[in-house]
Chain A
Amino acid sequence: MNTARLLFIFSLFFQSTVATAADMPTYKLLMKDGRIHPETLEVPAMTRFRLEVKNEGPGAAEFESLELKKELVLAPGVTRNLVFFPMKPGTYKFFDDFHPETGQGKIVAK
């Protein structure tokens, strides 16, 4: 009973959003061979922006950041967009969850 109620409450929160990406600055990130290029990405603080993540392979990659609350699995050769909401100035870490040894990067919001 309680679970059903719980699920219902969460279903209220739950709507799919399609990001409209035409009107915001776009940055590019390349994931290749377990590495991230560039490893430090500078973006303006308090501004919505789009990050175009491309995985050139050869393996799969997973862009992940607990701080930024993003998780995106990319098969080799796939390009996907992530929309970031205005961030406070600071440094935010992200990593390639499939290559945690080599794939570390950070976004610096200024």
Chain B
Amino acid sequence: MGNAFFVVWRESLEAFLIAGILYAWLQANDATGKGKRALFIGLGAGVGLALLLGWALLTVQDELTGEALETFQTATLFIAAGLITQMVLWMRKHGRQMKARLHADLAAARERSGYFGVAVVAALAVAREGAETVIFLYGMAQEGDLSALLLGSLAGFAGAGATAWLAAKSLARLNIALLLRLSSILLLILASALLIAAIDRLIGAGTLPPLLDPVWDTSMLIDDTTKAGKLLADFSGYRARPALSSLLVWAAYWGVVLFAWRRTGRG
């Protein structure tokens, strides 16, 4: 029961957080309600995708399909990291345009692609971790203890929802400029964590050389194999023993993001 709670909470927190931050932002910046509709459509599609992917992972027995699915999962990490980054930059631009009151037709065209992005990001966030939750819950059901499973997982979902609600609520209390800034930073950190996870998968599969592994070892300070350390690793991309190629990618990511951030600020 305790284990089901923790695993479900952790696996669904990321999706709830992304949804919560997007919701808080749309609440403040989008009066039409279209953005929120896109968000909910995306979340719904994500649940469907999660079930599908979970089912695919469960039925996989042979090595080749397993490899293909792993490749697919790595690809979704890259896509999610890229889309979240793009969306944050879009949000920044969009927020400025609203203030500048640009022509309505131009804004509408940009809005449509932006909302599509919102929906895709929400769907991917749910699908990725949702698939693992599906497998975990399926396994728990096989173990037989259904009432504990139901209680634990419902509590886990509720806990994750409450955590995200709290985050969104406290974000929404800030003024709009601060809300935009803070939610952007949170989303970018999350995107960088996804990117590091994807790079780790590539290194683990032997596709990408680690160059130097590890560059340093900070497990004495924060050990990423403990429960709390693992959470930090999942959400910030922290690694106690990072490989050089991970560090390079991480630095390149923040370099590109900071450059784009300045440019959207000027434009």
Measured CB to CB, the nearest residue on chain A to B6 is A100
A59-B140, A98-B139 given; A78·B61 CB < 8 A:
yes
Among A6, A70, A76, point to the contact of B139 (Cβ < 8 A).
A76
Measured CB to CB, the nearest residue on chain B to A55 is B139
Which of these binds chain A: B42-50, B70-78, B167-175?
A: B70-78
Confirm or deny: B220 has a beta carbon within 8 angstroms of a beta carbon on chain A: no
A66-B233, A67-B225, A78-B60 given; A13·B202 CB < 8 A:
yes
Report whether over half of chain B's contact residues are helix, strand or loop; otherwise say mixed.
helix
Measured CB to CB, the nearest residue on chain A to B141 is A59
Mark interface residues in B119-142 (1 if CB within 8 Å of A CB, else 0).
000000000000010011011101
* Cross-chain contact A3 with B139 (CB below 8 angstroms): no
Confirm or deny: B105 has a beta carbon within 8 angstroms of a beta carbon on chain A: no
* Cross-chain contact A14 with B67 (CB below 8 angstroms): no
Counting chain B CB atoms within 10 Å of each CB, the highest count among A15, A68, A73, A83 belongs to A73
Cα distance, A93 to B225, chains bound together (Å): 8
How many chain B residues have a CB neighbour from A under 8 Å? 58
Which A residues are in CB contact (< 8 Å) with B200? 66, 69, 71
Shortest beta-carbon distance, A45 to chain B, in Å?
A: 14
Which A residues are in CB contact (< 8 Å) with B210? 69
Confirm or deny: B32 has a beta carbon within 8 angstroms of a beta carbon on chain A: no
Which B residues are in CB contact (< 8 Å) with A71? 200-201, 204
Cα distance, A67 to B59, chains bound together (Å): 28
Confirm or deny: B176 has a beta carbon within 8 angstroms of a beta carbon on chain A: no
Which A residues are in CB contact (< 8 Å) with B83? 3
How many chain A residues have a CB neighbour from B under 8 Å? 42
Which B residues are in CB contact (< 8 Å) with A69? 200-201, 203-204, 210, 243
Which A residues are in CB contact (< 8 Å) with B182? none
Confirm or deny: A61 has a beta carbon within 8 angstroms of a beta carbon on chain B: yes
Confirm or deny: A36 has a beta carbon within 8 angstroms of a beta carbon on chain B: no
Confirm or deny: B68 has a beta carbon within 8 angstroms of a beta carbon on chain A: yes
Counting chain A CB atoms within 10 Å of each CB, the highest count among B7, B71, B75, B82 belongs to B82
Which A residues are in CB contact (< 8 Å) with B68? 16
Confirm or deny: A75 has a beta carbon within 8 angstroms of a beta carbon on chain B: yes
User: Which residues of B come within 8 Å of A, CB atoms?
Assistant: 3, 6-7, 57-61, 63-64, 66-68, 71, 74-75, 78-79, 82-83, 85-86, 89, 132, 135-136, 138-140, 142-144, 198, 200-208, 210, 214, 224-225, 227, 230, 233, 239-241, 243, 253, 256-257, 259-260
User: Which residues of A come within 8 Å of B, CB atoms?
Assistant: 1-3, 5-7, 10-11, 13-19, 57-62, 66-71, 73, 75-76, 78, 80-81, 83, 85, 93, 95, 97-101
